[in-house]
Amino acid sequence: MAAAIAALLMAFTFDGVARAQQGGTTRPSSSLVIPGHQNSGGSTLELPSMPAPQRGMTPNLEIPPQAPQGGEELTIPSRELREQPGYEQVQVTVTDPSGSYVTGLQKQDFNLYLDNKPRPIQFFRQDTNAPVSVGILVDTSGSMTPKIPQARVAIAEFLRDLNDRDDVFLFAFSSHPFLLQSFTMNHELVMRRLALLHAYGQTALFDVIEQGLGLLRQGRYDKKALLVVTDGMDNASAATVADVVAQARRMGVLVYSIGIGDPNPGAGISFAIGPFALPNFGDADRVDVETLHTLSTETGAKTYVIRQVGDGEQLKRACEEISLELREQYTVGFVAPDAAAGGYRSVRVDVPGKPTASVRVRKGIEVGPHSESAYNNAGMP
């Protein structure tokens, strides 16, 4: 009898340990759905449902993993389609005359043109719940001193508005770029890193964009974006504007930007005393809107200009709008013809059923040996 009771106790103990090790309950997971895959029922790729530990993190900054949000699935193109030479995909933003986003459109509502010739749309996705790999680049040059507190608040709001599964990294840049947080889905951890933003030095804008684009290659998702917050002109980079525009064009990353300050050259006041004229220092506070606008136009994104320096409310609204726009877009995939020939192909998308709508998309793609797929190092099956 004693032996039987002991055996029963051991069985209960073993079962309790096993349940503790397994977490006690089965949590729902999110999956990537690949339409058109050869396997019956489609193939899925499990998405991480909680932040993975980040290398090099300070232990006291770690945040306990959050419970996963189950049930959502990310649709991606089949491997067979992705591996076709010349396959590309672009993000499309559709707005009505009032500026509101036009949602609920279907594949048949769109027409796509390469070099003004129609091409069939072979993949289509509404990005309402599609996670994004996002890089945040914040100017911390000396002129940002009065704006850093407002930038922290605005970027924290941007992070709160993101999809829980978006993976995010954070760069600060002054005379050199500084990676404050590598890719993580733990957005609270990124918020804590905002406390490290302190203004000093010059502005290496092109260098940080180049490094940010490079790091985005490691993003886990096919949709990728950069958010650049700056108040100045580049005066410290080794990279050039041509370098970053060419790289952004190749990668197709959405490059959003917020420029703080006066976009006009010579905005300051010059003084003359007799035959002596003091130089105009207005350009020291001039934001490089031309470069920011070029990057946004090339990639189908948008540039916000905040002329009133220190307008924290406008900065916050801009961050909120960018986060919202990432959720109101469409992803369209297609195959460029004669991809082996390489070269640049212009892209145009329209919505014939919405003649008054504004349609925004990247200006073009590069195909051939130097092109870069959205799936480079993205961990897709």
Q: What pLDDT, on a 0 to 100 scale, did the predictor assign at position 46?
A: 42
80 residue type, one letter: E
**pLDDT number for residue 287:** 85
Task: Give the percent of the chain with pLDDT over 90.
Answer: 64
Give 196's pLDDT tier (boundaries 50, 70, 90): very high
Mention every residue, 6+ apart, whose C-beta is less than 8 A from residue 171.
Answer: 135, 136, 137, 138, 177, 178, 179, 180, 208, 211, 212
- Map tokens 């897709």 to a residue: 380
Residue 246 has pLDDT above 60, yes or no: yes
Amino acid 19: pLDDT:
39
Res 9: pLDDT: 45
- What b/e sequence results for 56-66 when a residue is b if at least 16 CB atoms lie within 10 Å of its CB, and e otherwise? eeeeeeeeeee
**HEC per residue, 14-82:** HHHHHHHHHCCCCCCCEEEEECCCCCCCCEEEEECCCCCCCCCCCHHHCCCCCCCCCCCEEECCCHHHH
- Exposure string for 158-173, b = 16+ CB within 10 A, e = fewer: bbebbbebbbbbbbbb
Residue type for 342, please?
Answer: G
Q: Is the pLDDT of residue 8 over 70?
A: no
pLDDT band, residue 375 (cuts 50/70/90): low
- Residue 49: its pLDDT value, please? 44
pLDDT value for 72: 58
Average pLDDT, the chain: 80
State the average pLDDT over residues 211-215. 97
pLDDT surpassing 80 at residue 236: yes
Question: What mean pLDDT do residues 79-85 have?
Answer: 93
Q: What is the pLDDT of residue 378?
A: 54
What are the tens digits of pLDDT across the range 102-150? Answer: 999 999 999 999 999 999 999 999 999 899 999 999 999 999 999 999 9
Q: What is the pLDDT of residue 58?
A: 34
Residue 364 or residue 369, greater confidence? 364
Residues 204-212 have a mean pLDDT of 97
Look up residue 310 and give its DSSP letter. T
Q: Are 256 and 136 in contact (CB under 8 A)?
A: no
Residue 237 has pLDDT above 50, yes or no: yes
Among 97-111, 114-128, 197-211, 280-294, name the one with the lowest average pLDDT: 280-294
What is the spatial distance between Cα 245 and Cα 366, in angstroms, rounded to a whole number?
13
pLDDT at 48: 45
- Evaluate the CA torsion angle 170, 319, 323, 101 in order and state its sign: negative
What residue ranges define each of the domains in the chain, with the CATH number in brackets?
A: 89-128+330-367 (no CATH), 133-266+279-327 (3.40.50.410)
Question: Under a CB-based contact definition with an 8 Å cutoff, are residues 25 and 372 in contact?
Answer: no
Q: Which is nearest to 381 in space by CA: 220, 253, 223?
A: 220
Between 7-21, 61-75, 148-162, 301-315, the lowest mean confidence (pLDDT) is in 7-21
Segment 155-159 shows an average pLDDT of 95
The pLDDT score that the predictor gives to residue 380 is 59
What average pLDDT does range 170-188 have in this prediction? 97
Q: Looking at per-residue confidence, does 160 or 375 come out higher?
A: 160
